[in-house]
Amino acid sequence: MEKQVMILVGAGQIGMAIARRMGYGKKIVIGDKSKENANAIAEIMSNAGYDTETVEMDLSSRESILSLIAKAQSYGEIAMLVNAAGVSPSQASIETILKVDLYGTAVLLEETGKVICKGGTGVTISSQSGHRMPALTPEQDRLLATTDTEQLLALEMLQPENLKDTLHAYQMAKRCNVKRVMAEAVKWGERGARINSISPGIVVTPLAIDEFNGPRGDFYKNMFAKCPAGRPATADEIANVAELLMSDRGAFITGSDFLIDGGATASYFYGPLQP
């Protein structure tokens, strides 16, 4: 008997928390560049009663994304997408950040939107960083939202010489994620499906703990110490928002972005985190 399928891209704590909340009764196909990481998440979930399958995939490759989708379709109709993959400013070059976080996410939303079932839902994990960058012009926003995916990386504003550093590239990628979700929501709606994004602040994960203990550790610790919440988030708090967005209670929510950062962005503009 065919099951409905959830695609989980990115074998990390946030993606797993959302999948555990929403993936019961479904086949969960977990894609990650590291098969070892995907298998580790799959083992935890399988031991908790979830039906999982792992696929080694590269978010920066359309061919790899299509292969993942085809694998998912072999089990049944795709009903849910959780995209929690990406690289951070301290992990990668400008070019890699744009290829993975910006282009790869755009392709994943586009290709999944072509096959998502009626009543299907998706969330993609963006970042508070996209909310920190100065506003773009309406034309720049439109270009990020609607440019053909294969032409995205050719946009003038995304050329490496027009980006100050990896953080700027990351901010542009996350701004693009939010705009692509808005544009894709129109297309997903034609299939009776919904897509939204979540922009988390600092979330405690193994990667974040490494960051706390690394060269940028003081920066991150200062950020959550001076935000209204006074602490970082847990992955399950991000899953709380995803559960609303992906359940029937979120049936009227699509094309939206939800900032969940403990007030860090508010503090950045109007409080003690002002630069």
**50 in catalytic set:** no
Instruction: Judge whether 6 and 82 are in contact, CB under 8 Å.
Output: yes
Distance of alpha carbon 15 from alpha carbon 115, whole angstroms: 21
243 CB-contact burial (10 Å; exposed 0-12 / middle 13-18 / buried 19+) = middle
Tokens 């003038």 sit at which residue? 156
166 to each of 97, 154, 181, 225, how far by Cα in Å? 8, 18, 23, 24
Q: Which two tokens stand for residue 150?
A: 């294969």
- Spatial neighbors of 136 by CB under 8 A, at least 6 apart, are 144, 157, 175
Which one of the listed residues 50, 103, 170, 268 is annotated catalytic? 170
Which one of the listed residues 26, 27, 33, 174 is annotated catalytic? 174
**170 in catalytic set:** yes
Instruction: Judge whether 85 and 127 are in contact, CB under 8 Å.
Output: no
List, by residue number, the catalytic residues: 170, 174
